């Protein structure tokens, strides 16, 4: 674990020296930023805001083949990712890295999911601290920070014309060695500390989550949900762009003689999410689905795993077409009067 640095104008060089890894970095296309494999190191920039689609798609791709099968096969051949491959995510924000640590709980719970976990194992996460948090970020309220180290192998800071890199794990050290980074001194680490403190002060929005997980079940029948669900479009923007949302559907796609079983992102906001084979839908309207999503992330998930399934990245707030504001919902839930929770 050490302190390193490199000059900003050497960014492309540093990336080029990581030929041993499959490198992913934030890639802007107009206003949309997405983590894509780096084809041209000179095109990588860390100047844009956080990616639109979170890097969860690097561990948990939107569509993924679980296994393929052909007519006449006698066994299955799972398409599990190689745990010993070498991948590197360059420029992941602390909120997204923290999100991985939250989702890890789910994918190693009742079934250890090799598709997700092998990717987690084979990936080095080189984080990028936020110097200027966006208007709707609230990571400190969720246990994070603009320079949080949770889940990262290394953390970079933009110090003007230098990047300061603090390695946190062996994987991080391996990255620093592969990239041939120079050692950094006290000046850089002190500047980074100062930046982290200032950035924390720049975060504008917050919520005190104390009591929310316990309160939400008592608001099951409360009409306050309707003031949000009335305008919900039931689309998948909040869920697909959320770094901690992790639901998926599994479907077989068959042709005449061969097929694959694939999983793809699903969202509890779609009307057909919980439709039973009988045709009955236990969450027929947006009220039930909105209530369910918030309750899952802020009550049921923490009940199981002791952590709220939210990192305060603000993507849901920024991208909701009808301005359903998560922090507004949580504030209103604190003010609403609950009833005794129903018991089975």
Residue 189 binds another protein, judged by CB under 8 A: no
Q: Give how far the C-alpha of residue 297 lies from the chain's centroid of Cα atoms, to the nearest Å.
A: 13
Please tell me whether residue 197 binds another protein under the rule CB under 8 A.
no
Q: What is the C-alpha to C-alpha distance for residues 164 and 17, in angstroms, rounded to an integer?
A: 18
Minimal distance, residue 45 CB to another protein, in Å:
17
Does 246 participate in binding another protein (rule CB under 8 A)? no
What does the alpha-carbon distance between residue 120 and residue 107 come to, in Å, rounded to a whole number? 11
Least distance from another protein to the Cβ atom of residue 328, Å: 6
Pattern 13-42, binding to another protein, x per CB under 8 A?
----------------xxxx-x--------
- 53/307 with CB nearer another protein: 53
- Contact flag: residue 230 with another protein (CB under 8 A): yes
Tell me if 69 sits within 8 A of 260, measured CB to CB.
yes
Asked if 43 is part of the footprint of another protein (rule: CB under 8 A), the reply reads: no
Contacting residue, 286, 291, 293, 297, with another protein by CB under 8 A:
286
Confirm if 336 and 258 have CB atoms less than 8 A apart: no
The residue within the footprint of another protein, chosen from 43, 183, 233, 341 (CB under 8 A), is 233
Which residue spans within 56-194 are E strands per DSSP? 63-70, 77-78, 87-92, 123-128, 154-158, 162-167, 182-183
Q: Contact residues for another protein (CB under 8 A)?
A: 29-32, 34, 52-53, 62-63, 68, 70, 134-136, 226, 230-231, 233-237, 240-241, 249, 251, 253, 255, 258-260, 262, 264-267, 270-272, 284-286, 317, 319, 321-325, 327-328
């Amino acid at each position: 674990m050490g302190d390193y640095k490199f000059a900003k104008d050497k960014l492309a060089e540093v990336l080029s020296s990581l030929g041993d890894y499959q490198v992913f970095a934030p890639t802007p296309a107009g206003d949309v930023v997405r983590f894509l494999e780096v084809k041209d190191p000179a095109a990588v920039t860390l100047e844009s805001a956080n990616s639109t689609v979170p890097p969860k798609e690097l561990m948990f791709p939107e569509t993924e083949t679980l296994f393929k099968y052909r007519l006449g096969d006698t066994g299955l051949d799972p398409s599990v990712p190689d745990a010993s491959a070498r991948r590197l995510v360059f420029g992941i924000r602390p909120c997204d890295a923290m999100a991985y640590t939250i989702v890890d709980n789910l994918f190693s719970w009742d079934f250890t999911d090799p598709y997700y976990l092998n990717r987690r194992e084979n990936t080095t996460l080189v984080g990028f601290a936020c110097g200027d948090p966006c208007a709707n970020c609230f990571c400190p309220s969720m246990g994070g920070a603009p320079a949080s180290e949770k889940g990262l192998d290394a953390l970079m800071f933009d110090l003007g014309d230098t990047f300061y890199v603090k390695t946190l794990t062996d994987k991080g050290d391996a990255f620093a060695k592969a990239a041939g980074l120079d050692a950094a001194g006290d000046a850089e680490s002190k500047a980074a500390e100062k930046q982290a403190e200032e950035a924390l002060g720049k975060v504008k929005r917050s919520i005190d989550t104390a009591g929310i997980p316990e309160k939400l079940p008592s608001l099951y029948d409360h009409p306050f949900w309707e003031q949000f669900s009335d305008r919900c479009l039931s689309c998948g923007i909040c869920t697909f762009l959320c770094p901690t949302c992790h639901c998926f559907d599994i479907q077989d796609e068959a042709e005449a003689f061969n097929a694959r079983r694939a999983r793809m992102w699903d969202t509890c906001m779609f009307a057909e999410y919980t439709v039973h084979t009988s045709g009955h839908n236990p969450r027929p309207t947006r009220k039930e689905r909105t209530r369910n999503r918030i309750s899952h992330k802020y009550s049921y998930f923490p009940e199981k795993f002791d952590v709220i399934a939210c990192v305060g990245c603000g993507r849901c707030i920024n991208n909701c077409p009808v301005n359903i504001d998560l922090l507004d919902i949580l504030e209103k839930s604190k003010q609403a009067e609950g009833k005794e929770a129903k018991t089975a």
